[in-house]
Amino acid sequence: MLDTHARKYVNPAIEKGADFFLGLKLKPNHVTMLALFIGIMTSVFAYFDMGILAVAVLWFSGYLDAVDGAMARKSGATSYFGTLMDIVSDRIVEAGIILVMALKFSDAGVSLVVLSLSILMSMTIFLTVGACTEKQGMKSFYYQAGVAERSEGFIMFSLMILFSSQVVIISYIFSAMILFTACQRFLEAKKILK
């Protein structure tokens, strides 16, 4: 929801970041890999109880994740492989955080499995609709909006890291948001896919 409706407010900062990295002669995929590396550091910092640093690098990796797409559009370098790298990198960062939470909080195992399965279901719908529809937005595939988009995910992961004693309840709330989004996307898919 935030990615869809609040992007216009943060877009100037994203565009400036794109100009900065293009000025350094970097390619969008280089920034995607940088975002992935920084995103993985979130899990490392969370594991060692450096919560504030973990959240800071998580959000910086998310910023870079938006910058790489802006770079691709500005330089005419959009590609399906870049889209693939972007989506896979996002899931690696998420999986790393979930894995660290599972390692640190064994009592949260079931809630984290439910969260993982919720993400799997929602992403399956999201990617299938993106592949099956001819509609395209500013991204290289059709982007289905929903209640739980990337920014909401970052908010929930941040809460899990900062308030780890509540990881079970936060995971279940996050899962409910994702499943609601999956239902939204499925119902939209029923209308647009014939």
Residue 137 sits in a domain whose CATH number is: 1.20.120.1760
Q: For residue 140, what pLDDT is reported? A: 57
Q: For residue 75, what pLDDT is reported? A: 95
Alpha-carbon span 83 to 68, nearest angstrom? 10
Q: What is the pLDDT of residues 6-56, one digit of tens each?
A: 788 999 999 999 999 999 999 999 999 999 999 999 999 999 999 999 999
Residue 53 lies in domain: 2-192
Taking phi over 0 as left and psi of -120 to 50 as alpha, with beta for the rest, 141 belongs to: beta
Number of domains the chain is built from:
1
Q: What is the pLDDT of residues 85-94, one digit of tens each?
A: 999 999 999 9
Q: For residue 152, what pLDDT is reported? A: 94
Q: Which of the two residues, 23 and 78, has the higher pLDDT score?
A: 23
Q: What is the pLDDT of residues 122-148, one digit of tens each?
A: 999 988 888 888 655 555 566 677 788
For residue 2, name the pLDDT band (cuts at 50, 70, 90). confident
Q: For residue 136, what pLDDT is reported? A: 55
21: amino acid identity, one letter:
F
Element (H, E) at 139: none
19: amino acid identity, one letter:
D
38: amino acid identity, one letter:
I
Average pLDDT over residues 143-158: 87
How does DSSP assign 75-131, residue by residue? HT---HHHHHHHHHHHHHHHHHHHHHHHHH-GGGHHHHHHHHHHHHHHHHHHHHHHH
Closest among 85, 78, 68 to 22, alpha carbons compared: 68
